[in-house]
Amino acid sequence: MLHLTLRQLQVFEAAATNLNFSLTAKQLFLSQPAVSMQIKQLEENVGLPLFEHIGKKVFLTEAGRELFQYSRNITQQLAEMKSVFDEMKGVGHGKLTLSVVNTANYFTPQLLARFCQRYPNINVNLHVANRDAVLKQLADNSTDLAILGQPPDGLDISAESFLDNPLVVIAAIDHPLAKLKRIKFARLADETFLSREPGSGTRSAMERVFAQHKIQPRISMEMETNEAIKQAVQAGMGLGILSYHSIELELETRRLAMLNVEHFPLLRHWFIAHRSNKRLSSAALAFKEFLLGEAKKIIAAR
């Protein structure tokens, strides 16, 4: 019979995720020797090595990979148990883990602020990442809810739209196209674009619309943040395609121009998503209902 402690599993799971004992120690507010000791005790209990060190890199052994899966399942079961107890206490308590794609973070804090005013005893853990990372968190069941654009194919995901997400073409204020009242889509074939990285929802939508018009966009530079694209466009390095929600301030202060291109804005939607078979806590259900019922009204009133 294995004699494992929850603390040992917690340390192991963090170490298996990071593959870095120093980072694990920092995250768990432990010393590195304390992390190593917990791992050593766990390996003695299991009777097999869980990590192997090759040079300066750390890797999971086959036994480590197996334990990692069991450990994550145990963690999720404990989280569900806590959610059940939180539900018994009422919706005003509990914990919500929320993952959002980078672009959604332009409006998510405002929604969360309103939600937390209503439910001050709900603790919210917010993760902001690109679309691929958010999809991985959904697939791993490591988040309660996710806010993203186009729902994924191939995952057993439940998704409902709660807000429009128009994508627009932006340019520097003094760009020649900014003076035109109507721009043919084909005219974009002559322009240079600054784009988000492959894997981002905005990049995927951009590629789809150009493919529909049989045009290959001239992408001069890929950037991992909307802020970097806005700065580069403002400096006259090219055009960009971004969510309207991410450029409202720049339009108001006339630091960027929104071009009137045919077939734009590309009307997409923001979705609140979770694993279909996931048992949502009362906190997660409250946030989902809050978004579906009030997000449009709150964002429109900004």
Closest to 296 in 3D by CA, of 202, 161, 124, 201: 161
Domains (ranges, CATH) in the chain? Answer: 6-70 (1.10.10.10), 90-163+269-300 (3.40.190.10), 164-268 (3.40.190.10)
Give the model's pLDDT for residue 88.
59
Give the model's pLDDT for residue 287.
94
Whole-angstrom distance, CA of residue 68 vs CA of residue 219 = 40
Give the model's pLDDT for residue 282.
83
Give the model's pLDDT for residue 155.
76
Give the model's pLDDT for residue 86.
65
Q: Which two tokens stand for residue 158?
A: 């439940």
Give the model's pLDDT for residue 169.
96
Give the model's pLDDT for residue 94.
77
- The model's pTM: 0.66
Whole-angstrom distance, CA of residue 227 vs CA of residue 288 = 28
The stretches in the chain having pLDDT less than 70 are 83-84, 86-93, 302
Residues 6+ away with beta carbon under 8 Å from 230: 170, 240, 242, 246, 247, 250, 256
